[in-house]
Amino acid sequence: MATQLIDQFAKNLAPDTKAAVYDGSKKGHEKRTQLLFDTYADPNRLREIAGEIKQHVIENLDTYLPAVEAKLQANGVKVHWAATGDDACAAVRDIMQARGLRKIVKAKTMVSEEIELEHYLNKHGIETLETDLGEFIVQIDHDHPSHIVKPIIHKNRREIAQSFEREGLGAYNDDPATITARARQFLRHKYLAADVALTGANFVSVESGRLVIVTNEGNSRFCLAATKCHIALVGIEKLVPNDRDLGLLLNLLGRSATAQQLTVYTEFVSGPKSATQPDGPEEMHVIFVDNGRTDVLASDCRDILRCIRCGACLNVCPVYRQASGHAYRSVYPGPVGAVLSPLLAGKKFPEFADLPKASSLCGACHEVCPVNIPIPDLLLRLREKGKREGAPLAAAGTPPMGAWAVLASQPAAWKVALFGGKILNFLPTNLIPVPALRAWEAKRTLPEWRGGEFRAWFKNRPKP
Amino acid sequence: MDLAHRKLPGADKRVQLMATCICDAFYADVARATVEVLEYLGCRVEFPEGQTCCGQPAFNGGDWPNSRKVVRHTVRTFAGELPVVLPSGSCAAMMFHGALLEFEQEADLPAVQQLASRTWELADFIVNGLGVKSWPGKLDATIAFHRACHTRGTGSGDAALGLLSSIAGLKVAPFGEGEQCCGFGGTFSVSFPNVSAGMGELKLEHIRAAQPDFLVSGDMSCMMHLGGLAEKEGKPIRTQHFVQVLRDALKNGGLL
């Protein structure tokens, strides 16, 4: 029986990669738990409240989006709307070409990965440089991020040192501090030569029009200080109603993502530089990206739009730990990716219909989610969609259930099957043409069949 | 589903037992121990003969029409007002959570809700339904307790652990990464055999390091997977349902 693609990927994963992913995510999860429960008496209540805030936002986007547009414009920000990824890429290109700008320094943004911005811009003669250390390493290696927060969780420092040597960033040295210092030194000059700072936004406050950008390296701050034009790519679900909501969400984000009380740098960007400010971008653009999000909003899986991209569900997920992020074949890996990627794929849903199967439905992702997304329920809904639409990737390795349903709704037939199953105790299983049984026995033994024994005991015993 | 407001047992303590298909087929002694323990607590246990399965295999597999067919059968089989008790957190969660999800758009949702509102996982029933907080008898053993995943967010894990910990002579040995799944996951175990086995091997490693006499859980599906994996590796471990431990403690203490 053909097993699932992610299972095959996990089987073939290099031991070094597997160890790096496992160790990184396990440590991330353990530190998060400790910090959350050390700080708060009832972190689960906070997760519920944060979830309610974000759910409120996504259910009222029709009023919040025009409101935030007006606020941003009043702050001197130019607002653009992109229905698709291509529209968003074209908007960036148009802004730059109209002004004769060619060089971007980029802070980490998952939306830019989602819309494949770098590839698009490079085709149009625009240079992009990643300034987040992890993303920088991904870029020089022509690799893909494998984690939402820790893009190179799959690499060890020896590999990174080799990449730096290859790129002429100094002789081989795998000391993390040296690697970081070399990257900084290289990037400093690049900031000064750049035209445009490209960032995402972790949150946008409707009340004030403030963009919140969090980093641990201060790289977004360098980007904004050195360039004259700021372009922010923002998913339409990133809004919060009020500035005060940020208190809770930033506290949960830092703790959930990297087990920090707060990320090292938390920037609030209200608009282009004012006449009295000495530096900063003279122009600021916010591109709100839909790229399938309104379809998600219209679906029964809309809760996933609460996600604040902390990666806690990846860290705790036993399947992610076994398979690594690249197994998910999409920008968003792990449990959140298994829900979001098939949904954002739109018409290409069948290409990702196997992702929701990559879960034992253990519920650990729901338990850690800072916005309390019921991820297992959403995975189940998508499994149902995959089955209903007959997606072959969803069906792979899944035993058909028709015969079982007939048996399990007819007591007489069920009783016969209970006794008939005893054949399993005598017949070598390679003679039994049931693929699921073979797959089971490839890894495990089967206990002795005792069908009907309890019923016989219950019926024949002296009545109490 | 609001688990805090489920149907409590009446004065006559009549209950319906849903033995679960896995005990019906493989673990007859678990179903038997469930009856013995409930009867020790003064319950009158009824076993509706027409019962089959909770419907979870097809539900998890995405085949909701076939799953609903089986759930409808289960709803008919367990008609009435009595609490329904299951020696499985997973099948219980199917009845009070999963089934509600797949019946959201169905006209007969109220019937499913009615069953959900009186469905209890066994440890939860003993502790929070019957109010039994500690367990008599004795058993000299060290056990490892695997908190099955479907009891997350319910009172079942703490309930079972509380009962076990209170048994004279019994020691519960903690082990690493206790919150992690064993890797069974129903059809997941056969459609993702490598990931499933990888998860199970990690779990076994942690459990073996704690050196228990046997491994205990409230879900025999986890035990079937972990026990089968260990045996296949040639390093078998003993597995038991917690209700077998409760029953054996009673017997050992001369109470049964």
CB-based contact B164:B245 (threshold 8 Å): yes
Whether residue A74 is contained in a domain is answered as yes
Interface test with B, best of A13, A361, A381 (most B CBs within 10 A): A361
Q: Is A408 on the interface with B (CB under 8 A)?
A: yes
Q: Is the pLDDT of residue A207 over 80?
A: yes
What is the layout of strands, in order, in the sheet containing B168-172? B168-172, B138-146, B214-217, B239-241
Q: Please judge whether A457 and B195 are an interchain contact, meaning their C-beta atoms are less than 8 angstroms apart.
A: no
Nearest CA in chain B to A414: B52
Q: Is the pLDDT of residue A135 over 80?
A: yes
B243 plus B147 within the same structural domain: yes
Write down which residue in A256, A291, A326 finishes a domain. Answer: A291
A285 plus A407 within the same structural domain: no
Q: pLDDT-derived band of residue B77, with 50, 70 and 90 as boundaries?
A: very high
B20 plus B124 within the same structural domain: yes
Collect all residues of chain A within an 8 Å Cβ-Cβ radius of residue B63.
384, 387, 401, 405
3-state secondary structure of B53: coil
A266-309 pLDDT, tens per residue? 999 999 999 898 888 999 999 999 999 999 999 999 999 999 99
Q: Please judge whether A380 and B58 are an interchain contact, meaning their C-beta atoms are less than 8 angstroms apart.
A: no
A153-165 pLDDT, tens per residue? 999 999 999 999 9
CB-based contact A241:A125 (threshold 8 Å): no
Whether residue A338 is contained in a domain is answered as no
Q: pLDDT-derived band of residue A463, with 50, 70 and 90 as boundaries?
A: confident
* Per-residue confidence (pLDDT) for residue A398, from 0 to 100: 87
Q: Please judge whether A3 and B194 are an interchain contact, meaning their C-beta atoms are less than 8 angstroms apart.
A: yes
A283 plus A420 within the same structural domain: no
Q: What is the mean pLDDT of residues A413-418?
A: 94
3-state secondary structure of B58: helix
* Per-residue confidence (pLDDT) for residue A464, from 0 to 100: 77
- What's the CATH number where B101 sits? 3.40.50
B22 plus B67 within the same structural domain: yes
Collect all residues of chain A within an 8 Å Cβ-Cβ radius of residue B36.
none
A72 plus A203 within the same structural domain: yes
Q: pLDDT-derived band of residue B6, with 50, 70 and 90 as boundaries?
A: confident
Q: Please judge whether B57 and A407 are an interchain contact, meaning their C-beta atoms are less than 8 angstroms apart.
A: no
* Per-residue confidence (pLDDT) for residue A3, from 0 to 100: 81
Q: pLDDT-derived band of residue B131, with 50, 70 and 90 as boundaries?
A: very high
Whether residue A12 is contained in a domain is answered as no
Q: Is B96 on the interface with A (CB under 8 A)?
A: no
Domain coverage including residue A222: 42-291
Q: Is the pLDDT of residue A47 over 90?
A: yes
A420 plus A282 within the same structural domain: no
Q: Is B98 on the interface with A (CB under 8 A)?
A: yes
B192-235 pLDDT, tens per residue? 999 999 999 999 999 999 999 999 999 999 999 999 999 999 99
CB-based contact B26:A449 (threshold 8 Å): yes
Q: pLDDT-derived band of residue B5, with 50, 70 and 90 as boundaries?
A: confident
Q: Is B71 on the interface with A (CB under 8 A)?
A: no
Among B62, B101, B232, whose Cβ lies nearest the Cβ of A445? B232
B67/B71 Cα distance (integer angstroms): 6
Whether residue A211 is contained in a domain is answered as yes
Among A360, A401, A450, whose Cβ lies nearest the Cβ of B57? A401
- What's the CATH number where A124 sits? 3.40.50.10420
Cβ–Cβ pairs < 8 A, chains A and B? 218
- Report residue A78: phi and psi, to 5°: -90, 130
Domain coverage including residue B233: 138-252
B108 plus B154 within the same structural domain: no
How large is the greatest C-alpha to C-alpha distance in chain B, in angstroms? 52
Q: Is A7 on the interface with B (CB under 8 A)?
A: yes
A280 plus A151 within the same structural domain: yes
Q: pLDDT-derived band of residue A1, with 50, 70 and 90 as boundaries?
A: low
**Best CA proximity match to A301, nearest among A233, A349, A257, A253:** A349
- What's the CATH number where B204 sits? 3.40.50.11810
Q: Is the pLDDT of residue A428 over 80?
A: no
Write the ipTM.
0.97
Among A10, A444, A453, whose Cβ lies nearest the Cβ of B225? A444
CB-based contact B46:B15 (threshold 8 Å): yes
B59/B101 Cα distance (integer angstroms): 10
Radius of gyration of chain B (CA): 18
B122 plus B147 within the same structural domain: no
Write down which residue in B90, B108, B129 finishes a domain. Answer: B129
Write down which residue in A271, A291, A311 finishes a domain. Answer: A291
CB atoms within 10 A of CB A34: 12
Write down which residue in A228, A257, A291 finishes a domain. Answer: A291
Beta strand ranges found along A278-363 (DSSP E) = 283-289
CA angle, residues A13, A19, A25, in degrees to nearest 5: 110
Residues 176-215 of B with CB under 8 A from A: 177, 179-181, 183-200, 202
**Average pLDDT of the residues of chain A:** 95
Residues 108-147 of B with CB under 8 A from A: none
Residues 345-404 of A with CB under 8 A from B: 357-364, 366-367, 377, 380-381, 383-388, 394, 396-399, 401-402, 404
> What total number of domains does chain B contain?
2
Q: Is the pLDDT of residue A204 over 70?
A: yes
Whether residue A33 is contained in a domain is answered as no
> What total number of domains does chain A contain?
2
Q: Is B32 on the interface with A (CB under 8 A)?
A: yes
B110 plus B187 within the same structural domain: no
